[in-house]
Structure 1
Amino acid sequence: MADMGVSQAELVEPRGDNGRKLPQYLAALAATLGALAAGSMLGWSAPVMVKLTDPNSTDYDFSVTQRQGDWISSVINLGAAFICFPIGLIMDAIGRKKTMLLLVLPFTLGWLLITFGTSVGMLIAGRLITGVAGGAFCVTAPAYTSEIAQDSIRGTLGSYFQLMITIGILFAYVVGGYASVFVFNILCTCIPIIFGVVFFFMPESPNFLVVKGKNDEAREALIRLRGSAYDVDYELNSLKARAEENKRNQVSYIAALKKKTALKALLICYALMVFQQLSGINAVIFNTSQIFSDAGATIAPTIATIIIGVIQVIATFISSLVVDKLGRRILLLLSALVMCVCSTALGVYFFLQQTHGSEADIVQAITWLPLVSLSLFIIAFSLGFGPIPWMMAGDLCQIDIKAFVGSTAGTLNWLLSFTVTSTFNSLNVAIGAGQVFWMFAGIMLVGFLFIFFVIPETKGKSVDEIQVLLGGEPQQRPEEKK
C-alpha cells in the first residue's frame, strides 16, 4: 500500500527528480550552520573593533591600537587562505561530514582565545584559528550540499551557504553592536558547538561513499535523503557508473585538469572568485557608515550597518528562491550589470565631492545618490555574485577535481579579500575614492562580458549534462550499458 505522504507521480515515475525534498533541505540547513559560524566571524570586527580601539575601552585588560586592530580584523583572510587547499585533500580522504565535524574543535578553540584573551597576540591567534575553520567551511559545506541535492533544488540548497553567511554577519552587527564584547564572544563560541550537535545526525554524501566503495552506506544515505519510495537503486547505479568511469580514467590532478571540460570549469570558478572580490564589495561594506555620513544621513553608524545587513539577508534569501527558476547565468549577468552601474554612480559622487567639496551645490543636489547606489549594490551582489560563485565548483566540476578546484578557488578568494581590504585605504589616498570605484565598475563590466560569452547555464542540469555544455562527450545512462 502506498505511503500516504507520497504522490502517485512519485510511485509511477520514481526516477529522475522525484523523491522527498524535505530531508535534503534539513541536511543542507544543518551543514550551513557552519556558514552561520563563519558569518559571525566575518561580521565580528565591524562592531567590536570600534570598541576595542577606543582609548577608554574596558572590554579587555589591554589596549588595541588602530594598526593592531587592522591585523585583528584582516588576519582571518590569511587563515582561511591557508586551509582551503589542505581541506580539499582532507575531505576527499575522510569524507565531507567527518571533516566538517572536526572543524568544530578549531572554531571553538579560536573563539575561546578571543573571549579570554589577555593580549593582542592572543586575539590575533584566535582570529587566525577561526579564519582557518571558517575558510574550511567555505569549501566543505558547498561541496556537501551540491552532492546531497537533486538537480531541481541543487541551486536553492547551494545558495543557503551565502544566505547563512549573511545571517551570521547580521547577527554580529546586531548583537555585537549592543551586547558587551564578552557576551558577544560567548554567543559566537556557541554557534559551532550547536552546528556540531545538529550536523552529527545528518548523512554523509552518497557521492563520497560510492567513491570509497561503501555502496550499502551510500544506499542508506540516499534513502534518508530521498525517501523509501524513491528509486534509490537507479541513482546509486548512476553514481557507481560515474565513479567507475573516473576510477578507470584516474590520473593526477595535473592530468585531470588537462581535459577541456576541467580546464573550462577551473577557468570559470577562478574568474568568478576574482570578479566577486574585485567588485569592491568589501570596500563598500567597510565604508557603509562613511557613505551614509557623507550623504548627510542622520542615521547612527550602528543602525546604518544593521540596515545594510538586513538588505543583504533579504536579497540573498530572494536569490535562494529564484536561483533554480531564473538560473545562475541570468542572476550573474544582472548582478554584474547593476553593480557596475552602482560603482560608477558612487565614483561620480566621490569624484565630485573631492573636486568641488562637500558643500558644493552639485554635490548637495545628489546627496541621495550614494544611499541609493549602496543599497542597490548590496542587493545586486546578494542576488548573484554573493552566493553563486561558491556553488559553481559543485555545479561544474566532476568529483575527481571538485575538491581541488573548490579549495584552490577558495584560497584565491580569501587572498584577494585580504588584498582588497588591506589596500583600499591606500588606493583612496593615492588615486582618490572616485577613481577607485570607477576601477571596480570597469572590473564588473569585464565580468559581465565574461559571463555572457563563457559561462553556461547549469540550472536543473545533471553533472553529465553540464560536462556536455563544457565541451565533453555525452555519457551513456546506466540502463543503456550492456
Structure 2
Amino acid sequence: MMMGENDILSAEQYYETNNEATPLLLRAPDPPYKMVKNIGISQQALVVDTTGSKMSSANKFPQYMAGVSATLGAMAAGMVLGWTSAAGKNGIDLAKEYNIPLTADEFSWIGSLVTLGAAAICVPIGILSDLIGRKTAMLLLVIPFTIGWLFIIMAKSILMFYVGRFVTGLSGGAFCVTAPMYTAEISESSIRGTLGSYFQLMLVIGILLSYGLGPAINMYNLSLISAVVPVVFFCVFIFMPETPIYYLRKGNRDAAKASLLRLRGSHYNVEPELQALEESLMEEQRKKTSLAQALRTKAARKGLVIAFGLMFFQQLSGINAIIFYAGSIFESANKSISVNVSTLIVGIIQVIAVFLSTLVVDKLGRRILLFVSIVVMLVTTFFLGTYFYLQRQTSVDVTHIGWLPLLCVCVFIFLFSVGFGPIPWLMIGELFSSTTKGISGSSACFFNWLMAFVVTKYYSSLELAAGTYTCFWLFSAICAIGSVFVLVLVPETKGKTLEEIQHELGGQSSSNEADKA
C-alpha cells in the first residue's frame, strides 16, 4: 500500500495494513521474554529473558574497525594541515626546492587556501552524503585528494600550489563533515564518544607525521607520502559497511539489517535496534514537511546555536596563535630547542592529549571536558599576554620566568586537545536529527573553516597593529565568554541515544528521564 503525503497511520495500523508482523517493540512480549524498561537505540541488550540474564551483547570490535577506517581520511587531512611546517619560514625552503620565488604574502595564501577549500565543500558534501550515502561520498573524496596532491607534486608555478592547496583543503574539509556523521551513525551510544574522538586523534596524527617527516625529507617526497595516505584510506574503507540509518532512509531494510549485523556481530539480535531506528524515522516522516520547516524546530535551532558556538570558540580560543608562536617560545625558553624539535613536541602533546580524550570522553562526559578545557585555556592565554606585555612594553626582566610561556604553551595545547579540539567535531554527529544532520553539520563545519581562514590569514596583521599581548588577552576574554556558553547552553550527551538528545534539545524529557521520574 502506498501512503499519501497526508496519510498518517499509527505504527500498528501500518504493519496490519501491509500484512506484516507487528514488530517486537510494538507488541506485548510473549514468554519467555519481557521488554527492558528505557528502550533506546544502540543499547547493548534491548531484550532479556525472564531470569534476568542478558542475551548476546553486541561486538564492539567491528564498530572500532569501521570508526578507525573512516577517520583515516582525517589523517590525510592532518597531513595537508601540517605540510607547510616543512616549508621553512615564509616558505623559503619550498621556494628553493621548487625554484619558484615566493613572497611572505604568497606563502600565507598557500597556507590559508586550505581553509577556504575546506569551507567551500562543507555544505555540498553534506547534501551529497544524504543523496549517495556517507560511505560512497567519502570514497569519492580520494579523487580530488589525489588531483590536489598531483598539482603540488608537479608544481611549476605559484598558481599550481594555490590550486593544489585549495583542492586538498576541499577534500580534507569534506572529511570533517562525513567522518563524524559516519561514526555517530554506526556506533552504540556507550562508545559513540570514543569513536567520535577518533576523528581528531587521526587528524593530529596526520599533523604529527608531517612535523616528523618534514625535517628528514624534502618537500617533494613529503608530498608523495601525503598523496599515498588517501589511497590507503580507500583500500581499507571500501570494505566497511554503509550506515544502517542511511539505508533505512532509502527504504532498504535488508541492507540496513545486514549493516547492523556487520557492525554488532552475527550472534547479536539486531531486530530491536533496527525496529527502534525504523520507529524513529517513521516518527520523523510523520512530522516532516520540508527541510526548511525541520530547521525551524526548537531542537534544530538550539543544535545550530550550540554547534556554531563551539566552532567559534574552538577557532578563536587562540590555538592557531599558540601553535604559530610555539617555535619561538620553545626556543626563547631553551636555546637548545630548535623550531623543528619544538613543532614535533607540539605534535606529540596533541596526539597524547587527544588519545587520552578518547579514553575518558564516554566516562567523564563532553560538558565537563569542554568546561575544564576552556577555563585552563583562559588562564594560560592570560598569562601569555601578561608575559609578552612585561617583556615588550616594560623594563621588567622576565628572563627568570622564561619557563612560564613554555609551560603555558604545553598546558594550553594539552587541554585544548583533550576538550575543545575533538569534542566540537564529535558533537556535530550528535546534535542534529537525521533529517537535518547533513545541512546543519556541514554548515557548522563551513563556519569553523571560515573562522580558521580569518585567524590564519589576518592574525599577523592584528598582532602588528595591537601587539602580541593584546591578542592573547583578547583570546583570554573570548575563552571567558566560551566558558559561560558551555555552562549555560551545551548539554551533556554522554550515554544518550541520538533520539534522547533530540528530545532534550526540543525541551522534552527523554523516555529514560520519564521512566526515572
TM-score interval for Structure 1 and Structure 2 normalised by the shorter chain: over 0.9
User: 2:487 matched to 1:452?
Assistant: yes
Note the C-alpha offset of 1:10.
9.0
1:309 aligns to 2:347 (yes or no): yes
In 2, distance between residues paired with 1:202 and 1:301? Answer: 40
Cα contact 1:78–1:415 (8 A) shared by 2 = yes
- The answer to whether the Cα contact below 8 Å between 1:41 and 1:131 also exists between their aligned partners in 2 is yes
- Whether the aligned pair in 2 keeps the contact of 1:10 and 1:19 (CA below 8 Å) is no
Counting only pairs closer than 5 Å after superposition, residues 286-325 of structure 1 correspond to structure 2 as 286-325=324-363
Residue matched to 1:160: 198
Cα offsets for 1:101-129 (capped at 9, x unmatched): 00000001101110111111001100000
Provide the residue aligned with 1:433 in structure 2: 468
In structure 2, distance between residues paired with 1:260 and 1:62: 53
Is 2:246 the counterpart of 1:196?
no
Task: Show the counterpart of 2:54.
Answer: 13
Provide the residue aligned with 1:22 in structure 2.
61
Matches within 5 A, 1:40-439: 40-50=79-89, 52-54=91-93, 58-356=96-394, 360-361=396-397, 363-439=398-474
DSSP-derived class of the 2:336 partner:
coil
Residue number in structure 2 paired with 1:39: 78
- Where 2:87 maps in the other structure, the secondary structure is helix
| CA distance, structure 1, for counterparts of residue 177 and residue 55 of structure 2 | 32
- Is the contact between residue 207 and residue 347 of structure 2 (CA under 8 Å) also seen in structure 1? yes
Whether the 8 Å contact between 1:464 and 1:474 is mirrored in structure 2 is no
CA RMSD of aligned residues (A): 2.0
3-state DSSP of counterpart to 1:460: coil
Deviates more, 1:348-357 or 1:67-76: 348-357
Amino acid at match of 2:341: I
How far off is 1:425 after superposition? 1.0
Deviation of 1:246 (Å): 1.4
**Runs of 4+ more than 3 Å apart:** 9-12, 49-52, 471-477
Higher mean alpha-carbon deviation, 398-407 vs 380-389, is at 398-407
In structure 2, relative to structure 1, the CA distance for the partners of 1:476 and 1:366 (3 Å cut) is closer
Distance in structure 2 (CA, Å) of the matches to 1:223 and 1:241: 19
Q: Residue 14 of structure 1: CA displacement?
A: 4.1
Q: CA deviation at 1:52?
A: 4.0
Write the deviation string for residues 17-72 of structure 1: whole angstroms up to 9, x where unpaired: x30000000000000000000000000011124484249x5421322222211111
After superposition, the C-alpha distances for 1:209-230 in whole angstroms (9 at most, x for unaligned) are 1111111000000000001222
Please list the CA deviations of residues 259-286 of structure 1 after superposition, one character each: whole Å capped at 9, or x if unmatched.
Answer: 1111111110010000000001011112
Supply the distance in 1 between the matched residues of 2:272 and 2:130 (Cα, whole angstroms): 24
The offset of 1:475, in angstroms, is 6.8
**Conserved? CA contact 2:205–2:351, under 8 Å:** yes
Instruction: Name the CA distance, whole Å, in 2 between partners of 1:146 and 1:176.
Output: 34
Shift of 1:293: 2.8
- Percent identity, please: 48
Structure 1 counterpart of 2:81, which letter?
L
Q: TM-score, normalised by structure 1?
A: 0.93
Q: 1:40·1:172 contact (CA, 8 Å) conserved in 2?
A: yes
Structure-2-length-normalised TM-score:
0.87
Inter-CA distance 251–176: structure 2 relative to 1 (3 Å threshold) = farther
Structure 1 residue 253 displacement after superposition: 2.8
Q: Structure 2 CA distance, aligned partners of 1:356 and 1:308? A: 29
Deviations 1:166-198 (A, max 9, x none): 000000001122211111111001000000010
More helix per residue: 1
How far apart, in 1, do the equivalents of 2:477 and 2:90 lie? Answer: 36
Q: Name the CA distance, whole Å, in 1 between partners of 2:134 and 2:475.
A: 36
Kindly provide the CA deviation profile for residues 393-426 of structure 1, in whole angstroms up to 9, marking residues without a partner as x: 2112110111111100000000000001111111
Q: Using the alignment, how far apart are the partners of 2:223 and 2:359 within structure 1?
A: 32
User: Equivalents in 2 of 1:315, 1:147: separation in Å?
Assistant: 25
Instruction: Give 1:467 shift.
Output: 2.1
Q: Please identify, of 94-103 and 242-251, the stretch whose mean Cα deviation from structure 2 is larger.
A: 242-251
Larger CA deviation: 143-152 vs 281-290: 281-290
Corresponding letter in the other structure for 1:371? L
CA distance in 2, matches of 1:427, 1:267: 27
Deviation at 1:257, TM superposition (A): 1.8
- The 8 Å contact of residues 84 and 408 in structure 1, kept in 2 or not, is answered as yes
Match of 1:3 in 2: none
Q: Take 2:270 and 2:247, find their aligned partners in 1: how far apart are those partners?
A: 14
Aligned AA (2:364): L
Amino acid at match of 2:54: E
Shift of 1:366: 1.5
Other-structure match for 1:480? none
Indicate whether 1:469 and 2:504 are aligned.
Answer: yes
- Mapped partners of 2:488, 2:96: distance in 1: 55
Q: How many residues are treated as equivalent by the alignment? A: 466
Distance (Å, rounded) in 2 between the aligned partners of 1:107 and 1:230: 38
Offset of residue 251 of structure 1: 2.9
| Structure 2 counterpart SS, 1:207 | helix
Shift of 1:365: 2.2
The AA in structure 2 aligned to 1:216 is D
